[in-house]
């Protein structure tokens, strides 16, 4: 084999083989194999309608001053109206659901959506009536308080489009 042919074979194996191996790897990056985080414990009924599961991921402390949790809403489940003194960030990781601020139209949520609930704004969020939804909830600046829970979202409010 000539030096040029050997070099070409080495170059092809360096470029082609890693890509080929990766394309046959069932656990390749970007492939979802199931839930990202464990389901957690049943959420308290005094703040939710329907079945909701919460798994704390980051507990509040004096360094980070935030709370992070994975929240799984079964179909039809939702939070009560509530507000956060420093706001809330929601990262939708699976399913289909809704987010609504008081006086605003209900917004459809899908995997990959990000919500930034502004400080002090009354809102609710939860799954669609037919599909579950999972999101990571981030409550920053907990020194200002975590959440003020309000009245349940009625079935009529939940079913309305605005």
What one-character-per-residue DSSP string does 123-147 give? EEEEE-SSS-EEEEEEEE-GGG-S-
Neighbours of 131 (CB within 10 A): 15
What domains are defined for the chain? 41-159 (2.60.120.10)
Predicted local distance difference test score (pLDDT) of residue 25: 39
| Mean pLDDT, contiguous 10-residue spans, the chain (162 residues) | 41 37 44 79 96 96 94 98 98 98 96 97 98 98 94 95 67
- Measured at the CA of 30, the angle between CA 14 and CA 138, to 5 degrees, comes to 135
Three-state DSSP state, 60: coil
3-class DSSP assignment, residue 105: coil
What is the pLDDT, as a whole number, of residue 19?
39
């Amino acid at each position: 084999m000539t030096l040029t042919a050997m070099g070409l074979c080495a170059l092809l194996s360096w470029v082609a083989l890693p890509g080929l191996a990766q394309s046959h790897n069932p656990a390749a990056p970007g492939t979802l194999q199931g839930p990202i985080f464990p389901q957690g414990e049943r959420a308290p009924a005094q703040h939710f309608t329907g079945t909701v599961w919460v798994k704390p991921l980051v507990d509040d402390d004096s360094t980070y001053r935030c709370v992070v949790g994975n929240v799984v809403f079964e179909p039809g489940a939702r939070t009560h109206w509530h507000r956060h003194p420093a706001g809330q960030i929601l990262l939708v990781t699976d399913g289909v659901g809704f987010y609504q601020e008081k006086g605003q139209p209900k917004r459809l949520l899908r995997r990959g959506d990000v919500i930034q609930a502004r400080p002090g704004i009354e809102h609710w969020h939860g799954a669609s009536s037919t599909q579950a939804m999972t999101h990571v909830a981030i409550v920053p600046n907990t020194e200002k308080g975590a959440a003020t829970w309000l009245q349940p979202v009625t079935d009529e409010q939940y079913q309305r489009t605005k």
